[in-house]
Each structure stands twice: as C-alpha cells, then as structure tokens.
Chains A and B, each alone.
Chain A
C-alpha cells in the first residue's frame, strides 16, 4: 500500500482513531480513552516503529494484544497506561518467550491503538496490519484463527492486576472463557492471545491497515463537511486500497432504532428515511456492527463488506451505541479485503453466520 508509515508517534493518533471508527462499521467501541492512554505512553516512551508484515522475520514471535469487554464499561472503569505492557510482561513470564512485536485484533475502534500503547512501553515494534480489516463481534472471525493460528497460550489482565491464563483448543471455546473472565473483572480486561510466528503472521494478517486508517482519518479531518462531498475522496482512497469499491448507499434521517441483547450481543435494527421522504427507507441490521443494508427486498451491502454510518453534516463516523432517533446521517459501503472473500473466511463471516438467510454477494456486484 502506498504512503506506508514506518513509525507511529503522537501526531498520528487523532487520525488513526478517526479512521478506525469509520472502519469499525458501528462496533469496536469508542477509541477516545484508548487514544488518550496511548498518547501518554508515546509521550513517556517515544515513538513506536511500525513494521510491515513482509519485513518480519519468519521465526519472529508475534502476539496480538487488545481489550476484551463491553465498550460501555470503559466509560467508567478507565484503563491504566501500563495495563497493556503489564499484560505482555505477564505473558512473557507465563510462556517463557520474548515477544518480538505485537499486532492488533481489529483495526476498527479502540483496539486500533492499544497495541501501540503496549509496544511503546515494551520498546518493541507494532505490526502495520490487523486481524479483521474492520471490527467483527467474535474472536473466531479474526483472520489469524481462520488462517489456522491457535488462540492460546493466552493471558488476560484486569484493572487490579488479577490474571487468568487460558489453554483452549479452539478460538470459539477461548472466546467463551475470556468473556466469562471479562465479566467477572467488571466488564473489561486486556488480553494477549493468538501467539504466532512471523511466517504465520504473513499468511494471515490483513496488511497495511494501521497506515490506511491514519490516511483515512487525515482525509476525513481535512475534508470534514457534508457527507456527499466526501464520496469522491473516499472512492479515491478506498479504490486504490485492499478494500476496493466504495459507494454512498443512502442519506437521510434515523427514524427508528431498536437494539436488545441476544446471547451477549447488541442485536437490532436501524431505519433511515431519505430527507424528502420520497424513497423507500433503508434498513440496517446490527449485531454490535452494522452488518446488512437493505431497501425493501433489495440488499445494498452485507457483511463481510463494510457498512459505515456517518454524521451527515460533518462526515464523522457514528458508533452503533451513539446512533439515535432523529440523527441526520449518510451510509457508505466499501468492499472488504480479499482474505474475507475466500471460502474458509466466508464460512465464519458470511451473512448466514449472523442469522441472515442470504448469500454473500460482493458490493461491486450489487
């Protein structure tokens, strides 16, 4: 990807966080607080090298690190600057191995910056890439396990320094266990998991997404304004990236939004009506993330492609938890990385995995 960064410092964080909310497709949690602790870490420890996956040694030891829990809880139970680095220290002690670099679970939301915070304190590089290229609700939907990386040994660390270690066979089982620990710890923990070799990383990571998120955030900041004026710059950016197609699906007002919890997820729908009330409304299905956009029977976009809702007047992306009745919004959709269009990936992320009885059709074919 062109314009790749080789270093991350404090000046990149606002853009990275803004871009990450766009890529989070409604989920991933507000990166505001994670961004603040990362800024503190970068102030204290200095900038962090950003390592392109192809530059990683095949036998390097890479670990993914990030927060696991409920975004709402992080509004009150603030993280500590040292949480992420302490988690890595404990992980090294537990496994007896030295970590060479860290990578992100998901570029969407708060977990876009947590690995940078950890890497700064540990004095190691962070990988320019992540395990989703967006945000998705479950750990087994990451590219690492889809590509065969085992979830454990893994270690989680809570606000008071309590620790739990995990040895599970599948990521589905690991997901259930760490969620239970997260709830017991007040709803938010930091985890180090999916340890892998440099070779495994190269085979499974979604590359270049940290650089891309910074570029995307910078563009949204510079071109801040009415959403329809953002389409051309967004197209220019996405269509030369791993994401491909970018469309403006709809503009209008949120006339209804309902969510309820089913199986530990925020599940619901949002209905958007165009400003003149002349077209059929747009319906968005939500499971933490915006997963499906439909107008009547017609599907306009579906997971694993990205669906993003932005504030109509400023182009600022809006998290699912902040989406509300009466807001004036625009809905964009973009393609997803090729990795998520392969058979083995679609097996865990196609619309049917979320209970929608439709086939996945790539955005550009809709």
Chain B
C-alpha cells in the first residue's frame, strides 16, 4: 500500500492506495509548521483504514511550499552566483532582469569569470586559476555557502561548471552547489535563473524535507518517501534537498495525473473547477501536455517544464449578472460560504444558480427562490458555453475526447457538455492531487545541441537517451522499466546542415 499526500497552501489532502483501490482519503488544513498538518492527515488515514504503519510501502508527497516561498519572497538564503562565459556577455550579469524585490530577497553576490564552450566544442575562453581563487576567497569572506554556477553551453559540455564546483568544494567543504547543467535545457539565462532559485531555496528545502520525514517518523512510517515534480514524476526526498526548484507547479500536474488514475483515460481533457477558475489541461499518454511558452515564476524567467493549463474565469464563486448572460471572471472565491446568496450573502454566484435549479443542495435554497426561470436557464447556458468553448480550444487536433471533471466546483456542470465525447465524474475527485502524487513515476530528460554531420543521428540519440536514463536511475527509477517517451529535434538555422537541438525524455517505474 502507498500513501499520497498533497501539501497545498490551504489544504493538505491525503489518500491510501492499495494497488488501484482507494482505501481511505482525507482533507485537512495545512499547518504553518507543515508537520502538524501532515501528521493529522496521516492519523485520519491510518485510523480510518484501520491500518498499521508497517503495511505502507511508500509515501509520495506533492507540495507547493517551494513555489510559494519564491512567490512570497520568504525563506530565501543569501546566494553566490558564478557565471562562466567571459568575454561573452560583458555588461549582462546574472539576474539583470529580475524584479527588484526578488533580487533583494536572494541577496546575491554575483561573479563573472572567463570560460565556457561554443556550440561546436571550441572554448569561449580558458578558465583562469586566479579568477576562481578570487571568487572563492570572496565567498569565504562573506560566508556564503549556497552557490549557483552557470556556464555557456553547459548542457553540451559541463566541464567548466564541474571544475569550478570542485575547487569551491575543496575550499568550502560545506558549500551547497547547484550547477546549471543539472537543469537541462539550452538558454543560459533561464537555466541560470533556475539554478539560482534552486540554490537560494536549499536551506529551506532541508527544513521542509525534515518536516515531512519527521511527520512520517512520528507515525512510525519508515518506508521510503518521494516528492513529486512538475512533470508528474518523482524525486527521492533526499534528491529534493538538492533540487527543490523541480517541484514548481507540481499541483496542477498532480491534479491531471490523479484524474488519469481515477478514470484510466490516457487521452482526455481534465477540467478542475475551483472557486474562482476552471483549470483545463490535457492528458496525453496519461501525462499532462506541457506548455511551450517561457514560464515565469515569481517574476523570474525559467526553463521549467510546466503543464499547459488554460485558466477560465468560471468557478463556484463566480459572480453572475442579473440576466444570467455574464459570469465571472470576478469571484467571491473562498468567501462563497459567507457572500453567496444561499449562505445569506448579497452576491449572486454560479453556485446559487445551481442550487436554484435544483441540481445540487447547499446553503438555504429559499434565499434564491426569487430568481426567474429565464435567469437560471440563461446562466446555466452561459456556463455551458464558456466551458464548451474553452475545452474545444484545448483539444489537440479538434478530435473528440472524453472530459474528466474534478474539483469542488464540478457541481456547476449539470447536463453534460457538448465539447465532451463522454463526461466522467469520478469518485474521490476532490483528492485528485493526492492521488496524482501517489502514482507518480520517475522521469528525467537530457538536451544537447549536436551536429549530425559529426555524429550520426542514431548514435547521437542513443548518447542523449543514455544521459537521460542515468539521470532517471539517479532519481530512483527501476532501470528495467525506463523508456523514452519524448524525442524532440529542432534544426538550428544558419548553422551547418546537421546542427540540431535534441531533447529526450525518459520515464520509469519507481524502484520499490
């Protein structure tokens, strides 16, 4: 049996799965120390299922703690940032485009030194011993131990980053170092940003992982614990101590993966209706379709893999015009329980309409008896049209697809949807996130620029797949189950005929 836990900003959800069967589920409030909330959820689960800790083989945790820390600029530690790339990029130091409050929160010491490689392996410049020594003595003097290192074309040749990291580690044995090449993709500034955000979160990551493991220990759960990352795959909890940034945006991913688990549908649209928005995503091969647009987190550009989500301004708390023709994007949000008409409030919300139409029960129905049939009918039609239109926009290739409804606001959908080939309302949809965490797999990717003239295509793909596979094994995957799920090749204009950017993603079952 396995436990899945989703530690959100407001709620901590948890489930126990026995194979495919949901044994027990709970929703509790997230505590400020994290430990209490998780411990409470574990108590409810274990007692509810009448289970002993020894029966649990793994615990999987999804969390927005690190995203929230960045967005709220808290729990960030002073960081040393070393860019290897001079003489290129002079006057373009790291963090040049960061929001001021975020840069201040990180309180970085920035260094630029010579080194790095061109796309064809020719050195930009040689590393200089004296420059490296100067950086190290300044770090020592400032007592900085969280360090991010980024070098030009590091995804293809990470030797400069490794050499500098080794020298620092020798001089400062307790240093926590993040190398940009550990974050894959081409794009020096975005990769460097990822490394800096990761480095600045490292001390907090240690605390959070300790809190998770502490809560598990409190309840005698000695099994391995994993944490889910933004592409729906897992990291070992020790891995998260070093890579907290890889958890950014794991929330929507787990909701999509949970919807997949609850229905078994590999190709589907998932509509997660909350209080303010309907988040619409797409499952492809049982995984979220990823976004192509540069993603910014807390105002900082990054290269993270994120699910492609369309946020439609329609939720349970969305405001409805008196004629029912206009709904949202304004919403009373979580204040629905005080401001909605059926709860004695003054605002006509989407939930009030559904109570008035008799499709669901909540609050006091008599408070909406004055609404005309025409208004109710129009409002229901408006909601349906909004959802149909957005779902159509998300469908790949316009083909008919089933739609899975999850989230507390899914009561808004009463008579089906034109856009859905079939509509699914799985049981336990309110803890889809925790279920998504519980079934996460282990994945990894590798990306390089190659010249197919110098290295034949088959050989190049094999090398890159191997690099991704090694990463997956390091992250806890069972080597026998690892397979490539995505190979992306991008030709590079203006370069020699075979220059291509290749990205390979592999996934495997967790080694249990």
Contacts and interface: CB of A to CB of B under 8 A. Distances in A.
A299 interface: no
Given A36-B92, A265-B493, A186 B87 contact: no
Nearest to B97: A36
B397 A81 contact: no
Interface in A137-186: 159-161, 179, 182-183, 186
| Interface of chain A: mostly helix, strand, loop or mixed | loop
Contacts of A36: 92, 96-97
Contacts of B125: 160
Interface stretch (B265-273, B408-416, B496-504): B496-504
B393 interface: yes
A73 B119 contact: yes
Given A76-B152, A78-B85, A78-B152, A259 B393 contact: no
A275 B418 CA distance: 14
B91 interface: yes
Given A76-B119, A253-B398, A182 B494 contact: yes
B88 A75 contact: no
Contact of A33 (B189, B292, B397): B189
Interface of A: 33, 36-37, 40, 69-73, 75-82, 159-161, 179, 182-183, 186-187, 252-253, 255, 259-261, 264-266, 273-277, 288, 311-313, 316, 321-322, 324-328
Contact of A78 (B122, B188, B499): B188
Contacts of A316: 293
Contact of A183 (B88, B491, B495): B495
Contacts of B490: 72, 259, 321
A40 B91 contact: yes
Given A72-B501, A261-B497, 13 more contacts: A70-B493, A70-B494, A72-B449, A72-B492, A73-B495, A77-B118, A81-B91, A81-B92, A160-B124, A183-B496, A321-B490, A327-B292, A328-B394
B18 interface: no
B153 interface: yes
Q: What 10 pairs across the A-B complex have the smallest Cβ distances?
A: A277-B398, A81-B91, A78-B89, A186-B118, A80-B90, A159-B88, A70-B494, A266-B493, A261-B491, A75-B187
B493 A186 contact: no
A253 B398 CA distance: 8
Contacts of B231: none
B188 A326 contact: no
B140 to A, nearest CB: 28
A311 B364 CA distance: 43
Contacts of A37: 91-92
Contact of B396 (A183, A260, A264, A326): A326
Interface string B67-91: 0000000000000000001011111
B189 A253 contact: no
Contact of B493 (A71, A76, A82): A71
| Interface of chain B: mostly helix, strand, loop or mixed | loop
B487 to A, nearest CB: 13
Contacts of B120: 186
B392 interface: yes
Contacts of A261: 491-493, 495, 497-499
A72 B188 contact: no
Nearest to B87: A160
Given A277-B399, A324-B292, A76 B491 contact: no
A122 B89 CA distance: 19
A70 B495 contact: yes
A266 B495 CA distance: 10
B509 interface: no
A204 to B, nearest CB: 25
Contact of A77 (B88, B396, B494, B496): B88
Most buried by B among A69, A187, A273, A312: A187
Nearest to A322: B292
A40 B398 contact: no
A181 B396 CA distance: 43
B310 interface: yes
Interface in B171-200: 186-189
A159 B123 CA distance: 12
B124 A159 contact: yes
Nearest to A313: B310
Interface in B370-427: 392-399
B289 interface: yes
Contacts of A77: 85, 88-89, 118-119, 124, 152-153
B308 interface: yes
A187 B392 contact: no
Nearest to A158: B88
Contacts of A252: 398
Contact of A73 (B89, B90, B492): B492
Contacts of B90: 80-82
A276 B97 CA distance: 40
Interface string B120-144: 1010110000000000000000000
A311 B294 CA distance: 13
Most buried by A among B87, B92, B397: B397
A80 B87 contact: yes
Contacts of A70: 492-495, 499
A327 B85 CA distance: 34
A181 to B, nearest CB: 12
A68 B188 CA distance: 19
B91 A264 contact: no
Given A37-B91, A326-B308, A327-B292, A187 B119 contact: yes
A238 to B, nearest CB: 25
B141 to A, nearest CB: 28
A322 B120 CA distance: 23
Nearest to B187: A75
24 contacts: A69-B494, A70-B493, A73-B119, A73-B495, A75-B187, A77-B85, A77-B89, A78-B88, A79-B88, A160-B88, A183-B494, A183-B496, A186-B122, A187-B494, A253-B398, A255-B397, A261-B491, A261-B493, A275-B398, A322-B293, A324-B292, A326-B396, A328-B393, A328-B394
Nearest to A323: B292
Contacts of A71: 493
A34 to B, nearest CB: 11
Contact of B392 (A183, A265, A276): A276
A297 B68 CA distance: 52
A264 B92 CA distance: 29
Nearest to B493: A266
Contacts of B293: 311, 316, 322
A160 B88 CA distance: 7
A115 B282 CA distance: 43
Contacts of B497: 261, 264
B290 to A, nearest CB: 9
A17 to B, nearest CB: 12
A79 B497 CA distance: 24
A221 to B, nearest CB: 16
Contacts of B393: 253, 275, 312, 328
Nearest to B85: A78
Interface in B293-315: 293, 308, 310
A279 to B, nearest CB: 10
A187 B495 contact: yes
